[in-house]
Amino acid sequence: MERIVVCTLLTIAFVSSLYATTVRRLSLDDLVGKADAIVVGQVTDSHTDWTADRKLILTTYNFQVGERLKGSTPQTIAVTTVGGKIGNTILHVSGMPEFQPGENAILFLERSGAYTTVVGLNQGKFRIYNGEVSNTISGLTFSDGASGSGVRMRLDEFKREIQTRIAR
């Protein structure tokens, strides 16, 4: 029995030290196809709460939608992520998108139960800065084992690429 406990603790310690979430790699085609909505928006505020069973911390970011590229959304949309800080308790999920107040982004969104979430974790969040969009894959490893990098391109070109894929 002691041997099982030691092995379990070593496994947890090893997995915890990796600090990465394994996901399926998503192409732009995949992101567009999986998204119920794609919006251009700005973070207005956020709040962090425990789930009803107090097992998870969730952070909800409110976005002012400036443009809808796919789907129908209200003018203000709440996007929920797993993780956050309440008091001295912090829950961090590697690869989960985080947002700053005032941040502008293109978001690929899907429904997950009662929540609206970002498709593919960090893969589906494209920060807008200086006329460019970029995402990051930090905190993510891919199930195919291959390495990769985020996307960076001009905002207008990115929006055209999305529209082309929606029109297919």
Q: What is the CATH number of the domain that holds 47?
A: 2.40.50.120
Chain mean pLDDT for the chain: 88
Whether residue 93 lies inside any domain: the answer is yes
More confident residue, 4 or 43: 43
- What length is written for the chain? 168
As given in the structure block, the two tokens for residue 82 are 């797993």
pLDDT of residue 147: 78
The number of C-alpha atoms within 13 Å of 52 and in the hemisphere containing its C-beta is 0
Q: Write out the two tokens for 2.
A: 């002691």
Residue with tokens 């490893």: 141
Is the predicted pLDDT of residue 63 greater than 70, yes or no? yes
- Give the domain range for residue 131: 20-167
- Res 14 pLDDT > 70: no
pLDDT in tens, 65-118: 999 999 999 999 999 999 999 999 999 999 999 999 999 999 999 999 999 999
pLDDT at 23: 84
Condensed to tens digits (0 to 9), the pLDDT of residues 128-157 reads 999 999 999 888 888 888 777 889 999 999
Helix (H) or strand (E) run with residue 28 in it? helix 28-34
The answer to whether residue 133 sits within a structural domain is: yes
d(C-alpha 167, C-alpha 11), whole Å: 47
Does some domain include residue 12?
A: no
Q: How many domains are contained in the chain? A: 1
- 26 found inside a domain: yes
pLDDT at 13 (0 to 100): 35
Residue type, 138: S
CB-CB contact of 54 with 151 (8 Å): no
Model confidence at 12: pLDDT above 60: no
Give the Cα separation of 72 and 62 in Å (integer).
16
Terminal alpha carbon distance of the chain? 58
